[in-house]
Structure 1
């Protein structure tokens, strides 16, 4: 979820001036709550969260249906991926195709359980793969055949 349209306040403002802070939700769709001792939080209304989920779900279902039914839709998806994700330029062609299929399938599955974490992780993983392909030295180190056995690896929980 993007927080660029969110009003930002410190979490303590919500605690100390809750009515004034919550009133800001009328002006902004979300409040970004900065916390000193933890990850920032995003506060929104239940209606706004439901609207966001409805839009994401609709877009997901349309993309999945188009990818499955329309002749040439996979080619269109492959054609537009670099516009949406410029880093796919570094992926081998077969990986771009695999990414497209996996993205549609994962989005559809994630939508069915109303949890986008798997889709976010998929995007991060494929972007890291593209980053590895963008660096010839790194790609060589990662794909080199490592025949040497460096022995037993100790359990880190046993380290003192």
Structure 2
């Protein structure tokens, strides 16, 4: 799908100059100090949402029946999965797919995006043997002892 970009101020000054672009493209409205906005026709929005729901559920069904194949498929799209220990890959795939299916169903994909970023950061740490080794412990002690605070007004 083609995308055209306009300044948000241009849209405010003359929407009739921007809206015809929606016939052939989605429109990004760039704002200076805020997140950009996207305009699209509802038919394209609904088609995208429907396609995402079907793809997410299909992949989740595949993962349920053949977890190794689902992991292999996702590793092609997310090559950093290779850096995770084998014991963590299945958990990663299950969590990402659960968030993706829930997000596709509700339209709330930010939890999926956050979890994806979190797992990627985890994989990046595992890719460097020194911090990976350090994060596995053992850890020196439990730290200083902290006493429970006294109730207010107690001596």
Shorter-chain TM band:
0.7 to 0.9
- Provide, for residues 62-94 of structure 1, a one-character-per-residue CA deviation record: whole Å limited to 9, x for no partner: 1222223x4xx2121122222110111111001
Partner in structure 2 of residue 6 of structure 1: 3
C-alpha distance in structure 1 between counterparts of 2:14 and 2:145, whole Å: 60
Cα gap change, 1:143 to 1:44, in 2 (>3 Å): same
Partner in structure 2 of residue 126 of structure 1: 119
C-alpha distance in structure 1 between counterparts of 2:84 and 2:91, whole Å: 10
Uncovered stretches (5+) of structure 1, i.e. residues with no partner: 153-160
C-alpha distance in structure 1 between counterparts of 2:31 and 2:63, whole Å: 42
Uncovered stretches (5+) of structure 2, i.e. residues with no partner: 147-155
Match of 1:22 among 14, 19, 24: 19
Q: Give the C-alpha shift of residue 139 in structure 1.
A: 2.5
C-alpha distance in structure 2 between counterparts of 1:23 and 1:147, whole Å: 66
- Provide, for residues 112-134 of structure 1, a one-character-per-residue CA deviation record: whole Å limited to 9, x for no partner: 32321221112111101111111
Query: Tell me, what secondary structure is at the counterpart of 1:115?
Result: coil
Q: Does 1:114 align with 2:107?
A: yes
Question: What are the residue-to-residue correspondences of 1:7-156 with 2, within 5 Å?
Answer: 7-28=4-25, 30-68=26-64, 70=65, 73-144=66-137, 145-147=139-141, 149=143
TM-score, scaled relative to structure 1: 0.79
Cα gap change, 1:20 to 1:62, in 2 (>3 Å): same
- Provide, for residues 84-116 of structure 1, a one-character-per-residue CA deviation record: whole Å limited to 9, x for no partner: 101111110011111112222222222332321
Partner in structure 2 of residue 157 of structure 1: none
Q: Report the RMSD for the aligned CA atoms in angstroms.
A: 2.1
Q: Give the C-alpha shift of residue 147 in structure 1.
A: 2.6
